[in-house]
Amino acid sequence: MAETQRRWTVMALSRIDDLTHADRFPDEVVDRIRVGYESQLSRIDRRLLALSSGGGAGGSAEDGPGDGPDGSRAVPDTNGHLRAGRELHRLVIATERTELDRLVTRRKVTERVAGGVRAALDVDETTMRP
């Protein structure tokens, strides 16, 4: 599952780049969301390294499937950045869901793995601040 999560995280970073070329979102928002996904990718890479070096299932509570890259903080939203961040993150999640469905249809990902990815996406989406 970690390899699938890695694939999704890399795809999400690519989607962020695609969406930001249109200058639709403030740079601060894009940077915050990108840093969240880069941190998630780093956690996944550490988990994969532990697995490949015989470190067992690896990981800790901090790098479970529900760790989202939203990066929301309780700060005043003076420029609408929180709203823009939620919008950007929702667009990325929608892309991740579409790609997941495509891979399941092509039988590149099992339903078991897809269920774990869907659960992680659900958690990310539902934990975004309103």
- The per-residue pLDDT for range 43-94, each reduced to its tens digit, is 999 999 988 887 655 444 344 444 455 544 445 555 688 888 888 889 999 9
At 115, the pLDDT band (50, 70, 90 cuts) reads very high
The pLDDT, as a whole number, for residue 23 is 73
98-110 pLDDT, tens digit each: 988 988 999 988 9
Sign (positive or negative) of CA dihedral 22, 30, 42, 70: negative
Could you tell me what percent of the chain has a pLDDT over 90?
A: 19
Q: Report the chain's mean pLDDT, rounded to a whole number.
A: 79
Sign (positive or negative) of CA dihedral 125, 86, 38, 4: positive
At 11, the pLDDT band (50, 70, 90 cuts) reads confident
The pLDDT, as a whole number, for residue 58 is 46
Sequence-distant (≥ 6) Cβ neighbours of residue 46 within 8 angstroms: 58, 63
Segments making up each domain of the chain, as ranges: 2-126
Sequence-distant (≥ 6) Cβ neighbours of residue 39 within 8 angstroms: 69
